[in-house]
Amino acid sequence: MTTQGTTTQGTLAWPLTRALATNPTGEAVVDGAVRLTYAQWGRRIHGLTTGLRDIGLRNGDVVATIAQNTYRHLECWVGIPAAGMVLNDLNYRLAVAELEFIVNDCAVRALVADSAYLEVARELKRRCGCIEVLVFAGDGLAPEGWVHWDDLCAATPLDPTHPDLAAITFDTLAAISYTGGTTGLPKGVMQSHGNLLANAKHMLMSNPIRPQDRFIHAAPMFHAADASSTFAFTFVGGAHICIAGFEPDLFARTVEAERVTVSLIVPTMINMLVNHPSVKERDFSAWRLLMFGASPMPIEVLLKACEVLPCSFVQLYGMTEAAPIVTSTQADDNRRGAAGEEPYRARLASCGQPVPGVEVEVRRPDGTRCNTGEPGEVHVRGPNIMMGYWNRPEETSKALVGNGWYASGDVAWADDDGYLFIVDRAKDMIISGGENIYTTEVENAIFRNPAVLEVAVFGIPHETFGEMVHAVVVTKAGATVTADEIVATCREQIAGYKVPRSVNVRSEALPKSGAGKILKRDLRAPYWQGKDKAVN
């Protein structure tokens, strides 16, 4: 057996190898009528080592995928890096222009798409000269000129000692996951095999998972948290239950029918679930753990979830740059907090303690550590921290500081037991429905309208999505523009979920500091008065 840092144990081949050795006849994936054991699933994934090479790919080539949650999408995460290639899982909510930038930025050679995104894939191939092959990851025959994913999986696997596979190490690039940038351009977070493998172990240590567990993939598979769950559950030989996407009734029916034991969804999904009338009719007796994160969790929603659902609740905090998990609450923290126990009651707003294997420090601007209860910038260090940003050396140098620390930009304080409380967001970022929205990007889109002189974009409260995008626009002298025209301008430039949901058009200048910086806090304050703006 090889050791960590060489081939098998130090790469993403290890989780599947272990599952095949310990639970070959156990159920690996369930996707509608499709049910595969680990032996059957492993044979498909191992076939990719040859199948991907048969279409001209080699170690280090980038393969993108755009698809709903399916067992084939899951195979992309497990199989593409293990075959030596680099996965770029595209956010299907982005506009084609945004996807075009990402595909060209990381020079995607093959694009995998399911039936829902055939036209998007065709358009990207027309726009992006780097794409050489289109791969169909759906049911039925592949469209003319496409290769079928199942044919790649059916190829004879390479011998594990093949030089191409032996060359994959702990430090080999496994995925490029794009996140928004403060310049308005997405940044490709480079995640090594070691980064993703380490964070899967961190999840297993902080929230023990058993081979008997059944995990439902309801959050989008392009999300970093779902990827971490993928490797963690494969490691122990647990079952992966796939649904195309989150819809409360579908989710509830699947949890009941498949005896789901563990899930990871965002707070807006929890809110929709606990307020759906069908929930009271479902048998959730097998469901033991619900993990959540990625956006604010109103305490009222958490308390209602504790009343309605039978499971334990675990809050996670992290970021794509950390692959992604940094902190986690304990399984009984929120239940005890909901019961009024202290200090658990106060910790309902906490995102937990650092997970085993990850260091967290809260620092002052001069780099010194903050005292207990003193707010500062969150810094993170561990084997899960990214290799850097793809083709962004300047931004990488700002994010990765001395001795391997990642400077998150998030502001938080910690209590005496190391529980972290996030109190502000990096660079005025908006989190709406679990999606990160960078205000600079929206502002740049609005400035495309010739009538605009000044603009400030920020988040305001929204009952369903936590926050929604609001814009204040100042027009040029003699010019006029309507809110609908501003929205139309944005829709041409950015994804729909980033477009302002409300727009205030005015002629007076925006408030500014002595240095000329727009004071967004003054504009934002009236909307948040009396509301909890803590971010978890």
| Residue 419 placed within a domain | no
pLDDT at 427: 60
| Residue 1 placed within a domain | no
Q: Which residues of the chain have pLDDT under 50?
A: 1-8, 181-183, 514-516, 533-536
The pair of structure tokens assigned to 456 is 């400030």
Distance between CA atoms of 100 and 127, rounded to whole angstroms? Answer: 7
| Residue 455 placed within a domain | yes
The SS3 of residue 465 is: coil
Q: Which residue has the tokens 């921290």?
A: 385
Element (H, E) at 486: helix 483-491
Per-residue pLDDT tens digits for 234-276: 999 999 999 999 999 999 999 999 999 999 998 878 888 988 8
Contacts for 275 with CB less than 8 Å, ≥ 6 apart: none
The SS3 of residue 380 is: strand
Amino acid 133 reads V
Q: Which residue has the tokens 């400030």?
A: 456
| Residue 443 placed within a domain | yes
Number of compact structural domains in the chain: 1
Amino acid 260 reads V
What does the DSSP assignment read for 166-187?
A: HT--TTSEEEEEEE--TTSS-E
Distances (CA, A) of 9 to 152, 198, 489: 25, 11, 50
Could you list the residue range(s) of the whole structural domain that residue 447 is in?
427-528
Per-residue pLDDT tens digits for 76-85: 999 999 999 9
| Residue 80 placed within a domain | no
Contacts for 471 with CB less than 8 Å, ≥ 6 apart: 442, 443, 446, 455, 456, 457, 486, 500, 502, 503, 504
Angle CA 461–463–464, to nearest 5: 115
φ and ψ at residue 411, rounded to 5 degrees = -105, 130
Closest to 466 (Cα-Cα) out of 492, 440, 497, 443: 497
| Residue 439 placed within a domain | yes
| Residue 179 placed within a domain | no
φ and ψ at residue 185, rounded to 5 degrees = -100, 140
Helices (H) and strands (E) in the chain, counts: 17, 27
Q: Structure pTM?
A: 0.83
Distance between CA atoms of 200 and 163, rounded to whole angstroms? Answer: 26
Distances (CA, A) of 165 to 9, 48, 50, 263, 408: 12, 12, 11, 33, 34
Amino acid 334 reads N
| Residue 471 placed within a domain | yes
* CATH number of the domain bearing residue 517: 3.30.300.30
